[in-house]
Amino acid sequence: MKEVRYIRAITEALNEEMARDESVFVIGEDVAYPGGSFSATRGLLEEFGERRVKDTPISEAAIVGLALGAATQGLRPVVEIMFMDFLTVCMDQIVNQVAKTRYMFGGQYQVPLVIRTPCGGGLNAGPQHSQCLESWFAHVPGLKVVMPATPYDVKGLLKASIRDDNPVLFVENKALYGLKGEIPEEDYLVPIGKADVKKPGKDVTVVATSRMVHQSLEAARTLFEEGIEVEVIDLRTISPLDKETIFQSVEKTSRLVVAHEAVKTFGVGAEIAAMVAEEMIDCLDAPILRVGAPFTPVPFNLERFYLPNAEDVVRAVKKALAY
Amino acid sequence: MKKETLLQMHYMMLKIRRVEERILEIFAQGKIPGFIHVSIGQEAVPVGVCSALRPDDYLSNTHRGHGQALAKGADLKRFMAEIYGRKDGYCQGKAGSMHIACNDLGVIGSNGVVGGGIPISLGTAFASVYKGNDRVTVCFFGDGATNEGTFHESLNLAALWNLPVVFCCENNGWAEFTPQKVHTKLENLSIRAESYGMPGVTVDGNDVLIVKEEAEKLIARARKGEGPSLLECKTHRWFGHFAGDAQKYRSAQEIEEVKSFDPILKFQKLLLEKKHLNPKDIEETEAKIKSEIDEAVAFAEKSPIPGIEGLLENVYT
């Protein structure tokens, strides 16, 4: 094992997959010579050259469309969109084109395409550089949506995404880029569509995504001192959703909290809550509770009031137990 | 030009016309679900351009793309079955008139979003460069699409990277229900090409030989690695935006007038003058096309309607 930061785990995954498969190429704004806005693609140009590491104009729709066309011809593009907020300017290409191509054309094409993009607040980047919009894309059949929280998962899932024959929206978290964690020296993959029990517990299940996994683990440590054993599930993939892992845990705990950084209203938490309510309401001993951001744009200098944190998770867990 | 080539072009234009006329008839009988957009009056553009393409070249088509797919060689039976929404259609009945793609012919998919296919055409062109082959991509779109942001983004990037694409604007003067003078200040849209650093040409899109001649030059240029270009072919849409459109936004006089530009009659007249055709040949061609269409319609009507078993298929691999 070795210790790496989340951002370098991404670079390693890109490096290894490009070395392994000549059809993989990287494309996006500032990804080649500048090495990426957050340095995820650092060193790739030097290693693989201009043919496979492409700086583009600020033209997100053209970038995604180009990647789609190339993917239908057997190439495996990895697109970087600088901020998740900017997916809005290539929404048609992602939702109407990329997601539909395989289905609409009767399976004539595979679309092995990855779109990497960072979400999340914590950098005071303001309302147009901080959003978590994963639920929009999870709502679109044909897209896989992956959202890793640790260096181990980000590397293994990115490699799995690049090898997948379907379009994958790969949602990184810019507040986690500096996070350190252990990863194996050797090649490994993390399967898409599998959640991970990050901490076992018997009292309350907390299903969390991205940065909220770490906030939930912190909450679990606090609660442990009070004798409460929280099971923290890191969803890792939003779509397709790993129902099995969630259901197994809720069967054991009978209490469920869902925690994500995105706005709580109409979010991924709503889907999970509805699914559990539909299929296993008899198992539940308390209402399903959600932790998420308030229904406002991400405010520049009021982020500390906006971002959900460990205390919010602690409160929700206690509320679930007190019912 | 060889006589065979000329006759093939004549046959294809006539075939597209008769196929679309038949589609309108069948649609009016309620046998075809969904939306239909016909390109009657515009046949010289796809036929002229596609006669300059190789079978392994790529083509990105539009919602008004029946002629584009047929001119690239689409099999009429599978094509008609798709229009009918049947299992033997190119896309197993999941695409319909608006979304036909034929992977084996490089027809990468007609698009229901105006301008939506322009960025995708960059990708097939990029794949040619990446793989080191000389397959060219032709990207069709209408005059309306030139006002989409994708047009600007794509032409800039294609020029910058010298991609082997010919952007072909099939300018029929109408962006859905809005005439060109209401949507664009310019008269010739090809002059936009210069601002991206690529050549742009406007031609009479009702003259199949002129379209072919210009397309050949631009395709050859792209194939040699000399980069993209914009070919504007001015033509006329005889019918409404969609089948059933009463065209209240258009004068009866204009609807009649545009028929005087009939690209098929124009070409036919030339072929008759040059003695490549005689009236009996035309009758024979018409009869051949009619029997092909009859056969394709029968094939489509016999093809199974997709059942629920395919509903969830191909969301993912």
B126-160 pLDDT tens trace: 999 999 999 999 999 999 999 999 999 999 999 99
CA A230 vs CA A84, A200, A291, B177, B260: distances in Å: 31, 7, 15, 60, 78
Q: Calculate mean pLDDT across residues B30-40.
A: 95
pLDDT digit string, tens, across residues A230-285:
999 999 999 999 999 999 999 999 999 999 999 999 999 999 999 999 999 999 99
Position A18 scores a pLDDT of 98
Put simply, the answer to whether A65 touches B122 (Cβ < 8 Å) is yes
Residue-by-residue pLDDT tens, chain A, 323 positions: 999 999 999 999 999 999 999 999 999 999 999 999 999 999 999 999 999 999 999 999 999 999 999 999 999 999 999 999 999 999 999 999 999 999 999 999 999 999 999 999 999 999 999 999 999 999 999 999 999 999 999 999 999 999 999 999 999 999 999 999 999 999 999 999 999 999 999 999 999 999 999 999 999 999 999 999 999 999 999 999 999 999 999 999 999 999 999 999 999 999 999 999 999 999 999 999 999 999 999 999 999 999 999 999 999 999 999 99
Structural domains of chain B, count:
1
For residues B36 and B110, give the distance between their C-alpha atoms in angstroms, rounded to a whole number. Answer: 13
A173 to chain B nearest CA, in Å?
A: 26
For residues A310 and B170, give the distance between their C-alpha atoms in angstroms, rounded to a whole number. Answer: 58
Residue B317 has pLDDT above 90, yes or no: no
Q: Could you tell me if residue B249 is inside a domain? A: yes
pTM of the model: 0.97
Domains A2-183 and A196-322 share a fold: yes
The H or E element containing residue A238 is strand A237-239
Instruction: From B106, B108, B9, select the one nearest B62 (Cα to Cα).
Output: B108
Q: Could you tell me if residue B316 is inside a domain? A: no
**What's the CATH code of the domain at B287?**
3.40.50.970
Indicate the domain borders of chain A.
2-183, 196-322
Question: Which residue in chain B has the smallest CA separation from A112?
Answer: B317
Position A227 scores a pLDDT of 98
> Domain A196-322's class?
alpha beta
Q: Which of B99, B122, B130 sits opposite A104 (nearest CB)?
A: B99
Instruction: From A140, A104, A93, A108, select the one nearest B96 (Cα to Cα).
Output: A104
CATH fold of A2-183: Rossmann fold (3.40.50)
Q: Could you tell me if residue B317 is inside a domain? A: no
Angle, in degrees to the nearest 10, between helices B263-273 and B3-28:
150
Put simply, the answer to whether B101 touches A105 (Cβ < 8 Å) is yes
Position A163 scores a pLDDT of 98
Put simply, the answer to whether B109 touches A101 (Cβ < 8 Å) is yes
Question: Which residue in chain A has the smallest CA separation from B87?
Answer: A106
- What is the DSSP secondary-structure string of chain B? --HHHHHHHHHHHHHHHHHHHHHHHHHHTT-S-S-----TT-THHHHHHHTTS-TTSEEE--TT-HHHHHHTT--HHHHHHHHTT-TTSTTTTSS-GGG--BGGGTB----SSTTTHHHHHHHHHHHHHHHT----EEEEEETGGGGSHHHHHHHHHHHHTT--EEEEEEE-SEETTEEHHHH-S-S-GGGHHHHHTS-EEEEETT-HHHHHHHHHHHHHHHHTT---EEEEEE----S-SSTT---TTS-HHHHHHGGGG-HHHHHHHHHHHTTS--HHHHHHHHHHHHHHHHHHHHHHHHSPPP-GGGTTTTS--
pLDDT digit string, tens, across residues B176-200:
999 999 999 999 999 999 999 999 9
Position B1 scores a pLDDT of 87
For residues A305 and B275, give the distance between their C-alpha atoms in angstroms, rounded to a whole number. Answer: 84
User: What does the block give as tokens for B185?
Assistant: 């200040």
Q: Could you tell me if residue B315 is inside a domain? A: no
On chain B, the residues whose CB falls within 8 A of the CB of A62 are: 119, 122, 150, 153-154, 156-157
Range of the domain at B157: 3-310
Sign of CA dihedral B107, B113, B118, B123: negative
Q: Which of B108, B118, B315 sits opposite A141 (nearest CB)?
A: B315
Put simply, the answer to whether A104 touches B91 (Cβ < 8 Å) is yes
C-beta contacts of B250-258 below 8 A and 24+ residues apart: B258/B41
Phi first, then psi: give them for residue B11, nearest 5 degrees: -60, -45
User: What does the block give as tokens for B175?
Assistant: 């962006």
Which pLDDT band, with edges at 50, 70 and 90, does B231 fall under? very high
How far does CA B121 lie from the centroid of its chain? 14
